[in-house]
Amino acid sequence: MFEQLNQFFSPKAIAIIGATEREGAIGNVVVRNFRVSNYQGNVYPVNPRYEEVEGFFCYANVQDIKEKIDMAIIAVPSEHVELSVRDCVKQGIRNVLIFSSGFAEMDEAGVKKQDDLVAYCKQEGVRILGPNTLGMINVHEDLALMFQDVGYTVYKKGEVGLVAQSGATGSQVLSMASEEKVGFSYMVATGNQPDLDTIEVLDYYIQDEQTKVAAFYMEGVPSGKRFLSMAEKALEVNKPVVGIKSGRSTAGQKAALSHTASLTGSNEIFDVAAKKYGVTIVEGFEQLIDTLKIFQSGKRPRGNRVATVVVSGAVGILLADAIELNGLQMADLTQETKEKLRQQVASYCSVENPVDIASTFILNEQVFPHAAQTLVDAKEVDMIIIHLPVPTALDPTKFAKMFINIAKTTDKPIFVVPTGLESEMAGVRHYLTENNVPAYRHIEAAVQSAKSIHQYESTRQKHIDKPTTTSSKLSIMIDSNEHLIEENSVKEIMRNHGVPVPNSILVSNVEEISKLSGIAYPVVAKISSVDIAHKSDVGGVMLNIENKEKLKNAYHSILSNVRSSYPEAKIDGLFVEEMVTERFIEFFVGVQNDELFGPVLTCGLGGIFVEVLNDVSRKLGFVSKEEARQMIESLNGVAILKGTRTNVTYDIDALAEAISNISQIANSLEGDWEDFEINPLVVFEEGKGVLALDGLITLKSTSIPIS
Amino acid sequence: MFEQLNQFFSPKAIAIIGATEREGAIGNVVVRNFRVSNYQGNVYPVNPRYEEVEGFFCYANVQDIKEKIDMAIIAVPSEHVELSVRDCVKQGIRNVLIFSSGFAEMDEAGVKKQDDLVAYCKQEGVRILGPNTLGMINVHEDLALMFQDVGYTVYKKGEVGLVAQSGATGSQVLSMASEEKVGFSYMVATGNQPDLDTIEVLDYYIQDEQTKVAAFYMEGVPSGKRFLSMAEKALEVNKPVVGIKSGRSTAGQKAALSHTASLTGSNEIFDVAAKKYGVTIVEGFEQLIDTLKIFQSGKRPRGNRVATVVVSGAVGILLADAIELNGLQMADLTQETKEKLRQQVASYCSVENPVDIASTFILNEQVFPHAAQTLVDAKEVDMIIIHLPVPTALDPTKFAKMFINIAKTTDKPIFVVPTGLESEMAGVRHYLTENNVPAYRHIEAAVQSAKSIHQYESTRQKHIDKPTTTSSKLSIMIDSNEHLIEENSVKEIMRNHGVPVPNSILVSNVEEISKLSGIAYPVVAKISSVDIAHKSDVGGVMLNIENKEKLKNAYHSILSNVRSSYPEAKIDGLFVEEMVTERFIEFFVGVQNDELFGPVLTCGLGGIFVEVLNDVSRKLGFVSKEEARQMIESLNGVAILKGTRTNVTYDIDALAEAISNISQIANSLEGDWEDFEINPLVVFEEGKGVLALDGLITLKSTSIPIS
C-alpha cells in the first residue's frame, strides 16, 4: 500500500487527461506549470483534439502511451470522469488524481456518481485523490499538480508534510509558511476524499522519510480509529502532528456543513482524542505556521522552565505574564547561574529571570550571546526566549548569527523575538528561522509555541516511559436483542470485574422473599425490566424498606404500579438491594461509545457539579488507575473529596480503582453498545471504599425503552 | 492646569540643560534630534562649557535666556538635578522634563532625593515629567524630546495619544504601530512618575483636541479614583481608552517589582474597574496595534452581528468559529439580503453568512464590492469582515480601493484581511488601514478587534441611555475607634436601608429576657462584642432555642463560655434573633473597600460555590437593582436559584434589591472601613424575600479582634 502511495506522491511519469491549449482552463494550467518547473519525470498530455499541449507531445488516448504511468490526472467534466478512469485501468494506471468537481459536493446525483466511481476503482485496485481537489505538490521534486499558478520559487523545501481538506487553505498555508521559512515535503488537498483522505495522507507522512512533521487542516474526521492509530504511530516515531480542526462552534459547524457537507463531530471528544497522543491543535493559520517553526527545528525541551533575556523591563514583565498564564514556568535561576551572569552584565542589570541586560548590548554586543549561553548551560532551564529589539544603528543579522551559533550547541529550544519595524525585522526573523532558531513577530507567539512543544514532548516522554495502557483482552458479551442491559446484569458484570456494588438479590415472586437470607435491612426494591430505563418515574422503586413484611408489601405495590402504567412491560422480578446508610459523596462515571473514537470515559462529582457546572474530566480509551487519579485531581470538585470545607476526606484511592475497572469493562464489551453509566457511584470516607448504586448499559437500537 | 500642560505637550521654546557636543551622550542626542526635525519652536542648549551645541547657540546658565521658556529638559547627573530645577524656577520655567536616572528606581537615597525634588517643585508650581524617563514626542509638531535616535519619517501623524510607563515600550509601540498606519498625536513616557503620571497624561488626551483615542502601557495604577474619573470622562466624550496592564501573573508581578518597583495591584479588581467605563485591556503589542486600527477609524457598530465575505469555504468556517467563540454573532441574513446577493454572485456560491463568492471575483471583480455593499446596506448586519486572498495575477490595491469607497458611505466597521505573501500583502494592509478600513494579518485579529469595538460601543450606549447610577448622597457614620462594627449595629443599619434582617433584640441581662415580647421562637442567641468576630469559635452562639427558659440558660452558658475564653472581652449582651425555618438558598455579599478603586461588591451563592468554585460576580461602585440582577444572572450557580434541579425557584427579585441596597450602604459609609460582609444572605422561595442572617463591618486598624 505504501509502495502504491509512493507512486502517488513521487510519480516518475504522469498522464494528464483533459490537457488543453485553452488558456486558463484547468487542463491547461496544470500542464503549463511543468514548463517552469525542474520536475525530472515524464509528462504525457492526453486529448484527441491536440497534437501538442504547452510544448509537450499530446496523446489521443491514455492507452496510446506505451510507458509505465505512475499516476493520471483527470481534468475532464464530471460526466466523463469514469470513462477516463476506465481507460487508465486499461493502460495499467493505478493512481488517479481527479480535479473535476460535480460529485458528492454538488447534489444527490453527484453522490451516486462518486459512489459508483469509488466502487469501480476499489474493485480495480485504483487509488483516488479527489474528486473536487485543487491537487498536490511534491515540493522537493518541483512537482505541482495544481490547477492554479504555482510559485516554485516561493515554496520552501523542508520536512513538513501538509494535508488539507480545502485546497485553497493548503495552498495559502504553503505559501505563507514558506515565506516564514517553514519548509515542506508535500502539500496534498484531499477534496471530497472518498478514498485517500486527510488521515491516510498523514499516515503516509508518518512513514515517509522526507517528512518529519505532519500538518493538517480538517473539517470532518474521516475515521476516529485511524486518526488514533496514526497519532500513536507518529508519537512513537517522534514526528509531531499539528493542525487546525475547524467547525468548533455551532456557527462554524453550520458553515462546514454547507461547505463540504462535513459533519465536524464533537469537538470535546476530538480534543480529548488529539491530546491522548500529543496531537497539537492550533487556532488559525498564523498559529499553525508559528508552531511549525519550532516543530521543524527538531529541538525538544525536557521540561517547562523558561528563561528569558530582555533589554526592557516592561517586556520582561509581559513575558513573565505570558509564560505563567500559558501554564509554563519562569525558570528559577540557581545562585551559580546568577553569579555567572553577574560577571557578564553591567551591575545595574537584573540577573534574575527575566534577565534584563538593558541597553548594555549596544556598547558590548557580546553581552547578549554570553547571557544566552549561560542560560543554555543552566540545568534549571529548559527553554530560552530572547527578546531582540534592534536599534536601527546596529546590524540585527550579527545578533542573529550569534544565536544561531549557540543553538547549534544545544537541544534546548531557543526562541527569538526580533522587535522593531516589520520591514527591517522580517529578514532577521526569516534568517533565524531558516537556521533552526524559530523567530516570532511577538512574544505571545513565542510563548504559545513554547507551550506547544512542551506539551508534545511531555506527552511523548510519558508515552515512552509508560506506553498507553490498554485493557486486558477480556471480552464481555452483551445481549444485543434488547435496548438496554438490566441493572441486575450490569451490577453482576461490575461485581465480577472489581467495581463494588451493594449486596443484592433478584426475587421473582413473593415466596422467595420469605426465604430470603444474607441481606441486611434496610433495603431498596426496584423493578427489574429491560423495558424500563427510568424506574422511579413509573413507581418502580421503593427505598428504606425495613423488614421482610414491608418488602412483601413493596413487591405488590411496585408490580401493580408498573403493570398499571405499562401492562406490556417484560418483568424479571424485583431487584432487592442493601441500602447505604453511611456518609458518602455522589460521583458519576459514564462511558460513551463514540462513533468516531470508541469508548470515552467521563466522570465527575454528581448533582450540581455535573448538571450545573459541567465540572467533568474526559479520557479516551482505557483508563489506568493512575490516569483515573489524575482525572479526579483535575476536577474543581476534588476539593470536596479532599474535605476542603468539612475536614472529612473521601476514598479517592478506591474511587480511582473503580473508575479504572469501569473503563476496563467498557473496553471489553462486545456488542453494539452506546452508553455505560454508573450514577451514582458513591464514595465513602477514606479507607471505606466506593459502591456503584446504579448501573445501566444502553445499546444502539432504534427501539427505545418504554420509560 | 490644562493650560500649563499644554505648554508641556506643545512647547514653543525649550531649554536643554546639560546639552553637550559629546557624541552619544543624552545631552547630545536630544539636541541632535532637532537638526533633522521640522520643529518650529526655539531651542536653547545650556552648558557653561560650550558656546554652541549641534549648531545651536549654547547658554552658560538657563537664567541667561531672556525669552519665555515653556519647558526645560534636564539631562545632568542626578546629584545636580535639583540645582538645575532651581535655576529654571528663577528663569520662570514651570515645566521640567527630567531624563536623569538615579532617583527612586535606584535606592533609598534616590527615593529621598526624588521626594525632596517633588516637594520643592510642588511648592513652586513646577510640573515634572520623569525623572528616569526616555522623554516624549509631539508627533504633529515633529518634536521628539528623546535621548534615542528618532525616526520622524517613521512616526505617523494621527489621533492616538500614547502614554507608557516604560519608554522603551512606548517608543517601540509608536514605531511598530506607525508602520501599520496607526497615527499618533503624542507619545509620553512617564518614567518614575512622582508628578505627571500615566493617568494624568491620559486625562490630558481626553481633553486634547488633537487626540481621539488614548492608549497606554501601565505596570502600576497610580490612582484608582483618577483612573475611574478619567475613564468615565473618556466614555462621555466618546474617546476610547485602550491599553496594556502588565503584571497580571505572579511571575509578572515579581518582575514588575524588580523593574520599576511598581505594585501592580489586584488584576481582578483592575479588570472590573476597566470594564465599568469600557476601557479596553489588550494583551501584548500586536493586539494593542490591531485594536487601535479600528478605534482610530471612528467607526462604531450598533450591535454584535457580523457578516463575512470569503472566497474559501474553509476560511468561512474558521471565521464563523472565531466570531462565535469570541461572543459575537454571525448575522442571520434576511431573505431580502440573500435575494440581492443571489443576483450578484454565481449560482454555486453561498448567499448564507459566511457569504462565499468562491473564485468568481477573479473573472468579475465587481462581485466582491457588490457583495460587501449589500451587507453594508443590510439592517441585520452591524460589522463586516472581508477575507481578501489575492492571487498574484490580480492587483490587490484595486480591491482595496473598492472597499475604501464602500467604507466612506457607512459608519459600520469593515475589517479586511488581505491574505497571501506578507511581502505583497503588507502594502495592501497599510493602504487600507491608512484609508480608514482597518486591515489585519489574520482573521483572528480582525475578530478580536470587532469584539473590542463592540464591547466599547455597547458600554458607551448603555452609559448614554442610563448614566452609571451613583448612590444617593446618604451618609452613614461608623464608629472608627473599634476594629469592627458589631452585628447588632450592622443589622440596624441594614434594617434602616432596605436590607431585610430577622426580628431581633439585644438583651443585656437575664431580667430583660423575662420581659421579652414580640419575638417568635425558636431563636438564635449570639454574644454581642466588638472584640469577637468569630463568635462560634468561642461558644458564643446557640441555635434553636425554643422558649424563654431555655433562652435564660443559653444566656448563662454563652456568657460563661466567652468569659472563660476571653475574660477581657468587652461584652454588650446577648443578641437574640428569630430563627429561619423555611427553605432557603445561602447567598453571600461582600463589599471590599479597595485601596485603589473604593468599594467593590462581590456576590455569589454560598458554600462550595464561593469556597471551592470561585463562582462570583464583581462590580465596582454603586450597584443598581438592574445591575444586581445582571450580576446574579452571570453566576453559574444562578441555575440553582432558578430551580434547574429541584423545580423550586427562589426570589431573585428580592435578592437583587437587597444587593443594590447593600451596595448603597457600602457607598454611604463614612469612616475608615475595610470590609462589609453579609454571609449568609438567605434567599427564600419566589415571592418570599431574603434575610441577612449575619452582617459585619471591619475597619482599617492595626488591632485585630480577639477571635
Q: Which of B151, B317, B607 is nearest residue A219 as measured by Cβ atoms?
A: B317
Binned at pLDDT 50, 70 and 90, residue A138 comes out as very high
pLDDT band, residue B150 (cuts 50/70/90): confident
Mutate to test the interface with A, among B26, B321, B390, B585 (most CBs of A within 10 A): B321
User: Cβ contacts (< 8 Å) between A255 and chain B: which residues?
Assistant: 313, 316-317, 319-320, 352, 354
What is the reported pLDDT for B610? 77
**B456 and B668 Cβ atoms separated by less than 8 Å:** no
SS3 A147: coil
Q: Is the pLDDT of residue A230 over 90?
A: yes
* Greatest CA separation for chain A: 100
pLDDT above 70 coverage of chain A, percent = 95
pLDDT digits (tens, 9 = 90+) for B183-225: 999 999 999 999 999 999 999 999 999 999 999 999 989 999 9
Q: What is the mean pLDDT of residues A304-331?
A: 95
Band of the pLDDT at B480, cuts 50, 70, 90? Answer: low
Average pLDDT taken over every residue of chain B? 91
CATH architecture type of domain B299-465: 3-Layer(aba) Sandwich (3.40)
Task: Specify the pLDDT at position B589.
Answer: 95
Average pLDDT on A322-347 reads: 94
Confidence band, pLDDT 50/70/90 cuts, at residue A480: low
Q: Mean pLDDT, to the nearest integer, of A110-120? A: 96
Cβ-Cβ contacts under 8 Å for B397 (sequence gap 6 or more): B427, B428, B431
Angle at which helices A335-344 and A367-377 cross, to 10°: 170
Cis-peptide into B567, omega within 30 deg: no
What pLDDT sits at residue A473? Answer: 66
Using a CB-CB cut-off of 8 Å, the residues of chain B touching A316 are: 255, 259
- pLDDT value, residue A472: 64
Instruction: Tell whether the model's pLDDT for residue A253 goes beyond 90.
Output: no
- Report CB contact under 8 Å: A251, B219: no
* Model confidence at B609: pLDDT above 60: yes
pLDDT of amino acid A643: 84
Q: Which three cell numbers stand for residue A239?
A: 514526528
Neighbouring residues of B119: CB distance < 8 A, sequence distance ≥ 6: none
* pLDDT band at residue B261 under the 50/70/90 scheme: low
- Average of pLDDT values for A342-362? 87
The highest-level CATH class for domain B1-132 is alpha beta
Cα gap B697→B677, rounded to integer Å: 6
How far apart (Å, rounded) are the C-alpha atoms in residues B646 and A239? Answer: 51
- For residue B676, pLDDT over 60 is answered with yes
Backbone angle region of A621, left / alpha / beta, with phi > 0 → left and psi within -120 to 50 → alpha: left
pLDDT band at A46 (very low <50, low <70, confident <90, very high): very high
pLDDT for the residue B129: 97
**Across A624-648, average pLDDT:** 89
The dotted CATH code for A298-465 is: 3.40.50.261
CATH T-level assignment (fold) for domain A154-296 = Rossmann fold (3.40.50)
**Facing residue for A312 by CB, picked from B166, B392, B423:** B166
pLDDT reported for residue A515: 84
CB half-sphere exposure, A662, CA atoms < 13 A: 35
Please state the domain extents for chain B. 1-132, 154-297, 299-465, 503-578, 584-699
Nearest to B284 among A248, A287, A442 (CB): A442
Query: Which residues of B are less than 8 Å from A250 in CB distance?
Result: 324
CA dihedral of B143, B149, B152, B153, whole degrees rounded to 10: 180
CA atoms lying within 13 Å on the CB side of residue B287: 21
Q: Rounded to the nearest 10 degrees, what angle do helices B78-91 and B108-124 cross at?
A: 0
CATH number of A1-134: 3.40.50.720
Q: Which three cell numbers stand for residue A609?
A: 457539579
Determine the Cα–Cα distance for residues B300 and B457; give it in Å rounded to an integer. 6
Q: What percentage of chain A exceeds 90 in pLDDT?
A: 66
Q: What is the CATH number of domain B503-578?
A: 3.30.1490.20
Average pLDDT of A549-554?
A: 90
pLDDT(A565) > 70: yes
Chain A: give the shortest CA distance to residue B688, in Å.
24
Residue A581 pLDDT > 90, yes or no?
no
- Mean pLDDT is lowest, of A300-309, B56-65, B141-150, for B141-150
Residue with cell 426475587: A507
For residues A589-616, average pLDDT: 87
Cβ–Cβ contacts within 10 Å for residue A587, how many? Answer: 29
DSSP assignment letter at A439: B
Q: Is the pLDDT of residue A266 over 80?
A: no
Judge whether A344 and A364 are in contact, CB under 8 Å. Answer: no
Give whichever of A30-44, B139-153, B322-336, B361-375 has the largest mean pLDDT: B322-336
Does residue A588 carry a pLDDT above 90? yes
Q: Is residue A463's pLDDT more than 80?
A: yes
SS3 A76: coil
DSSP secondary-structure letter at B469?
Answer: P
Q: Is the Cβ–Cβ distance between B11 and B114 less than 8 Å?
A: no
Q: Which pLDDT belongs to residue B517? A: 82
pLDDT for the residue numbered A315 = 94
* ipTM summary value: 0.88
CB-based contact B255 A639, cutoff 8 Å: no
**Residue written as grid cell 482505557:** A622
What is the percentage of chain B residues whose pLDDT exceeds 90?
66
Question: Poorest-confidence range of A448-462, A530-544, A570-584, A626-640?
Answer: A530-544
Contacts of A355 in chain B (CB under 8 A): none
Give the CATH superfamily of B154-297. Answer: Succinyl-CoA synthetase domains (3.40.50.261)
Q: pLDDT: is B502 or A595 the higher one?
A: B502
Cα–Cα dist B437/B449, whole Å: 12
Of 3.90.100.10, 3.30.470.20, 1.25.40.10, 3.40.50.2000, which CATH number belongs to A584-699? Answer: 3.30.470.20
pLDDT band at residue B569 under the 50/70/90 scheme = confident
Per DSSP, what are the bridge partners of residue B461? none
- Nearest CA to CA, how far is B57 from chain A (Å)? 28
Per-residue pLDDT, A259: 65
- Helix ranges (DSSP H) in B364-500: 367-377, 396-408, 422-434, 443-465, 487-496
The reply to whether A1-134 and A154-296 are identical in fold is yes
State the helix-helix crossing angle for A422-434 and B167-179, rounded to 10 degrees. 100
Task: Determine if the peptide bond prior to A354 is cis (ω within 30°).
Answer: yes
Question: Which chain B residues touch A286 with a CB distance below 8 Å?
Answer: 441-442, 444
pLDDT of res. A288? 98
* Contact call for A217 and B356, based on CB within 8 A: no
In our burial notation (b when 16+ CB lie closer than 10 A, e otherwise), range A435-459 reads: bbbbbbbbbbbbbbbbbbbbbbbbb
The answer to whether residue A514 scores a pLDDT higher than 90 is no
Lowest mean pLDDT among A108-117, A235-244, A318-327, B254-263: B254-263
A381-392 in b/e form (b: 16+ CB < 10 A) is bbbbbbbbbbee
* Cα(A128)–Cα(A197) distance, integer angstroms: 9
CA angle A116, A122, A125 (to 5 degrees): 140
In this predicted structure, the answer to whether residue A390 has a pLDDT above a threshold of 80 is no
pLDDT of B116 reads: 96
Between B706 and A252, name the one with better pLDDT: A252
Per-residue CA distances from A262 to A104, A279, B45 (Å): 11, 21, 72
Please say if the pLDDT value at position A613 is more than 80: no
What's the average model confidence in pLDDT over A242-250? Answer: 93
Residue B609 corresponds to which cell in the numbers above?
Answer: 460555590
